[in-house]
Amino acid sequence: MARVVIDPITRIEGHLKIEVEVDGKKVKNAWSSGTLFRGIELILQGRDPRDANLITQRACGVCTYVHSLASIRAVDSALGSQLADNGRIIRTLLHGSQYLHDHLVHFYHLHALDWVDIVSALKADPKKTEALAAKISPNAHGEGVNDFLEVQNRLKKFVASGQLGPFANGYWGHPAYKLPPEANLLAVAHYLAALRQQTRTAKLMAIFGGKNPHIQSMTTGGVTCAMDLTPDRIGEFKFLWKETMDFVDNVYIPDLLAVASYYKDWGRIGGTRNFLAYGDFPMGPKEPEDFLMPRGVIFNRNLAKIEPLDVALITEQIKHSWYEGSPEGLNPANGETKPAFTKFDTNAQYSWVKAPRYKNQPMEVGPLARVLIAYGKGVPAVKETVDMVLKKLAVPKAALFSTLGRTAARGIETKVIGDAMGTLLVQLVDNIKKGDLNICDPRPWEQMPANGMGAGLNDVPRGALGHWITVKDKKIASYQMVVPSTWNLGPRDAADKMGPVEEALVGTPVADPKRPVEILRTVHSFDPCLACAIHLIDTDNDELYKFEVV
């Protein structure tokens, strides 16, 4: 029996520690620990509710807009704001922009190195890579033999200098890597292309948001960017959106399918059983009826029975977390944040992350949950895309419940949500042509109610995000945030049931405990948002190994 401690996990946002027991080259037990206390909710108490969206988006350097949206939705809910139709459209376009940027960055720059052997690309024949590119992504730009030769030469310079730059300290040569050299070279080329593309995709949010990453244009009942509703600004947004979707269609999705075809065995690894989504992307004024990605709950992988969601049945349990209070926890509307650190003990308290539960059950949230619920409900665009992926990979539906399925789901919803942004742009232009220039609640702040309670729910790239607020005398009396990585990466609950990532890790094969790339594959598939060293203790001989992974 070996105990593997990865602390902190790299290629994520924040500080996450994963500890597993490996027996017979498989994970037998797992613990997920968030090791950083932030306390954003405490900072908000006593402040103007309009400040909340500006402060909460500072909780993260990646998931910025989505906290702003959840926060402003919570204030809208508490004060009964009247949401302007153009405000809805622009908010949703901004939300889609976050998805396009976030999912591209995750696939290429946070997750791909778990599947792509960078050093193997040095052995590739650029001519064969050109032929491979023509086969899997014939409409991609800059795919000639000279382009791949240039990438290979750049990589050789990294190696010759003794520094691999962004590719340093990986598990290169690990037996779990399966791509041939030519596919690895193609992936490296697209890694670099995605670096360039994401800088342009990031501009989408700045057009209607005022700046990126921390936007300035949210207000009660809509947005404030009236000066940006011009043909030039809308045209600029449309151009960048089309450019991004060209990359999604001709590079991202083909790469996803090509890489997945070598790792079909991961369609049986890393799965969970229960899924939850708040739903999001309102394509019309009625919520949640007009959500592109619907709301719902799945238990025991039963796609034939999508249950309605009752937010009142959510609890945040703290038996294994460093907080005071009842181990069974409270609903977030009545939640408390009372830190009480003791020590790290996997048999007692071992995380700053709470353990959210729905009907006392752990629930996976995120792309896979959203896609499964939309697929089960028969959403046409989702069903068509999922069926296409399953057919091309020649895998059964059961493969969706896995690390492979979770990674594929990100690409699937990137395509579906990106395409839907085109419909929203048409709606916006039509409204403007009709003379509708309203973008927010017309009432001044002084006419808003002084008291209220509300929840702002949205589904963000990493999963279900909820903000709960109580307003008294135009001040924030209480505030709670339950973020996606709390759902996915939380510890055991009051009944000692594992959290989703802990459950998903059990059964994961580990060929070499000193180089646990397989563990990283499943953890990264959840896209943790919680910061680079790995510490591994082999309990058979009490050796301590320390090394870094980028």
Could you give the residue numbers annotated as active site? 13, 60, 63, 67, 462, 485, 529, 532
What residues have CB less than 8 Å from 391, skipping those under 6 apart?
Answer: none
By the 10 Å C-beta count (0-12 exposed, 13-18 middle, 19+ buried), 506 is classed as middle
Question: What are the distances in angstroms from CA 161 to CA 61, 154, 156?
Answer: 32, 11, 9
Using alpha carbons, select from 468, 466, 482, 483 the residue that is nearest to residue 528: 483
Q: What is the residue-wise DSSP string for 19-43?
A: EEEEETTEEEEEEEEE-----HHHH
Q: Cα(104)–Cα(521) distance, rounded to whole angstroms?
A: 17
d(CA 467, CA 470): 10
Tokens of 477: 């009396």
For 483-520, list the strands marked E by DSSP. Answer: none
Q: Are 507 and 26 in contact (CB under 8 A)?
A: yes
Distances (CA, A) of 374 to 272, 294, 304, 313, 316: 17, 6, 11, 22, 26
User: What is the token pair recorded at 55?
Assistant: 């402060």
Q: Could you tell me the maximum CA-CA distance found in the chain, to the nearest angstrom? A: 75
Q: Which residues contact 522 (CB under 8 A, 6 or more apart)?
A: 269, 270, 403, 501, 504, 505, 508
Q: Which amino acid is at 533?
A: A
* N-terminal to C-terminal alpha carbon distance within the chain: 27
Cα distances from 512 to residues 25, 110, 117, 458, in angstroms, run 8, 22, 16, 40
